[in-house]
Amino acid sequence: MRYNPRARLDRSQVENRRGGGGGGGLGGYPDGGGGGGLRVGGGIGGLVVVVLVVLLSQFMGGGGGGDTAPDTGTSSSFDQCRSGADANTNADCALVADVNSVQGYWEQALPRQAGIRYDPARTRVFTGQTQTGCGGATSDVGPFYCPVDKYVYLDTTFFRDMLQGQLGAKGGPFSVAYVLAHEYGHHVQDLLGTMGKVRSQQGAGSDAVRLELQADCYAGMWAKYATTVRDEDGQVYIQDLTQDDISRALDAAAAVGDDRIQRRSSGRVNPEQWTHGSAEQRMRWFTTGLQQGTLEACDTFSTRQL
């Protein structure tokens, strides 16, 4: 995965609320890029369900709350992240580039395919704990999207401590991009009103699983066109993706499959407790979005075969 050195990054889409403002960054990539190791800013703990939509809007009084997240005190911008060249050498800047690319894609795709405007969501990076429109959150929750304040929340220690550490994923820059694209897929679902379809919260065929698999499919849609998304000056954000990048995204999707997590945590697989779908399902729906690139192809709520 290589970013275009001439791409201009929009730092306003990402907030840093890590302890002390500027410390505790992503540092180098966990594998396959950048060099260096992650700086730890809070443990993941015994996470069982990851990449979670913490509270759906219908459980929070039907949305509301505007598009501004609660203030949590310390704040810092990603001042060093100005171009794709910065993204190629700094994983914090790569995160900004990924967010810019994902949102740039949906700004074009959502009006074209669904006839509605894409309203941007911001990403808040934190360590340890933070307050959100959906209540308090800690590192144990994993990355999530809050439909109340329209923010994606991310403790960057997740990638080392949980995704690679406890779940055994290969890691690499595009596995981080996959997680972000998945969470922004939830934002797209929020804009489309899909979250209002969720009634059943658990089980292999539940609405919760359908919601998560659709977000994986939406992540695949972005991946299909990731090298074509441009900044305001017409420069693409991402110059190239390799098959290894795609493989690492699929590996990350598999690592957060319910069956994989259950097998690692208890040694048993119980589909009745699934909330996100199996490893095979998550890879397959990501691949569906990658190959077909349409909202229609990602309609997990209409299909019988998940």
Share of the chain above pLDDT 90, in %: 69
Going along 107-223, which residue ranges are E strands?
122-126, 129-132, 135-138, 144-146, 151-155
pLDDT at site 67: 37
Four-residue CA torsion sign, 203, 206, 208, 209: positive
Dump pLDDT digits (tens) for 209-228. Answer: 999 999 999 999 999 999 99
Q: Give the containing element (helix H, strand E) for 287.
A: helix 279-292
Residue 163's pLDDT band, with cuts at 50, 70 and 90, is: confident
Dump pLDDT digits (tens) for 275-293. Answer: 999 999 999 999 999 999 9
DSSP string, 80-136: T--BHHHHHH-HHHHHHHHHHHHHHHHHHHHHHHHSSPPPP-EEEEESSEEEETTEE
151-155 β-sheet, strand order = 14-17, 122-126, 151-155, 144-146
